[in-house]
Every structure is written in structure tokens, then in C-alpha cells.
Structure 1
Amino acid sequence: MELKAFFTEYDKKLWMGIPVFGILDMGRDVSMTTVQQIIGEQIDRNAIQTASTWMYLVDGSIPLVVFPMEMLIKKLHISKLMGLVLFLVLFYTAKYRWGAFFHSLDIHPWNYNWFTPEQYNSTTGYLFFHPDILHSWVLVIVIGRALDRMLRLKF
């Protein structure tokens, strides 16, 4: 794909993907917090969860990287499974970088060390490595890639 065509496609419906991903992923964040509290045996019967508004910025940035990663995976002829692994690494890296950025500003929109078993926590609290959470991230990646393709084709 030539550079001009890449940027034309990259820009295509990006304005729509940002709010869609932001809203959907904030819902995912509330659900993941519930799962983390269940794993950490710290959920109460009301299951009231919160999501930081800062997460809209984090989750809304997903469409900015999905299409370029898809093009890279396609150009390098990377398998679907390896592409999934690359997206998982990208998402964990982004989550860590955003967490470090917010914490440098003394903003704490999430800290997984609050209510999860210690053996799955990161030293910073920005990441959580429980197998159930890894599976939910894989699901988010599969849905996110499909949603990005759908938004580009349908609208």
C-alpha cells in the first residue's frame, strides 16, 4: 500500500472509532474490575464498580494503533496467532505507558494492586497478569480488530 493510500485509509472513519472504542472499553474496564475483585475475593454483593474518566482517553486511543498494526501484520505476513500476541504485547505496553504517564502527574486512574492476589500484580500496579485477565484481553483484541474493520467498511 502506498503511503498516500495508507493515510487515506487510516483517516477513514477514525472520528467514529475513537468514541466507540472509548465507550465500549470503559464498559470492559468496569467488567474487568469486577473479575479482578472476584479473583481477589474482595467483591461485595452490590458489585458497584467505577471507571475513571481518564480511561476514555486511554481506550479512545485504541483506533489510532489498530489499523497501522493490521497493515504491519499483513505486510510482514504474520500469522493470526502471532498477530494476536503482538496486539497483546502492544496493549500491555500501552497500558503500562499510560499508567506511568498518569502517575507522573500524580493521577491514579487505576491500580490493580488494590484488590488482586499479589502473585499476579506488577510492581507498579499498572498491569495485572492473571490468566483470566489475559483471556479477556485476547477477547478485547479480537472484538476490537473486528470492530475496526467493520467501522471502516460499513460507515
Structure 2
Amino acid sequence: MENIASLKEKWFKKEVERLANEGVSKADIARALDIKPQYLNSVLNGSRGLADTFLDKFIEAYNINQFDLLPHDGDSTISTVSLRFMEKLDEKDAKIDHLQSELRAMTEELATLKAKYPESSTSHPEGLGPAKTASTKKHSPQPDADNATSANAQ
């Protein structure tokens, strides 16, 4: 599968071609986007990347319905909306990978700390037992109709 950046570029080029067929020149597009024609050419020839903010400006300037960006005339280019979802998925995958590596590092650090400080050497304050025997339930002196069942269960 192609990467998202190249799919966006293909879509953008097709849209510029479509506008050209409707009589809109590259100079017109540059003016509408408030950019220099050289910048537009560098985006079209691939020497500059296609930022989402640039795409948003283009879509807004030409009133392109983002939810109706289906391929034109049998074109297999993926819609911009699909591209954005795919990009978000890629970002989420990268975040998951990052968090998994952090988790592995923390697990290793925890193992190192456990080895350095064995549990037998840790002491509990006098009068307190280990956390597993501590109770966190609140005492209710008199059961009422709402908590009668829970009071009976105690």
C-alpha cells in the first residue's frame, strides 16, 4: 500500500487537474490560497510536502465537500477523508508502539528495583498489616431501607 503522503499528493494533483479542466489556472489557485505560484509548483512537483493545513485551505477555497470526496471517473485515488483517518490510525499506531516501549522499559526498571530491594527487607509501619488485609469499607452505624441488604451482608 502506498504511504499516506503520496496518496494525498496524488489526490491534490488530480484536483488541480480537474480545476484546470474547468478553466482554473495554477496562478488562480495560488491567488485563492494566498501563496506564491512557485510554492504551488513545488508542492505539485513533490519538492515540498503537502501539509494538512494547506489541504484544508485548498478544500475550503474551492468548496470541496470533504464528506463527498469520492474518486472521479473510475479513479482509484482514496478520498481525503479516508486519508485523514488512515493518517490518524498511523499516529495511533506510533503512539501505541511508543507506549509499549515505555512499558517494557518500566518493567525492566521494576525488575531491577525488585532485585535491588527484596520484599523481605521492606518493613511495614507498626500496627499496620500488608495492604491486602486493609479494609476500605466505610462503617455505617444504622442500616436504613436503602442499605439494609448491604448491612445484612456484613
Q: When the two structures are superposed, what TM-score results if normalisation uses the length of structure 2?
A: 0.29
Q: Which has the higher contact order (CA 8 A, sep 6+)?
A: 1
Q: When the two structures are superposed, what TM-score results if normalisation uses the length of structure 1?
A: 0.29
Q: Larger Cα Rg: Structure 1 or Structure 2? A: 2
The structure carrying a bigger helix percent of its residues is 1
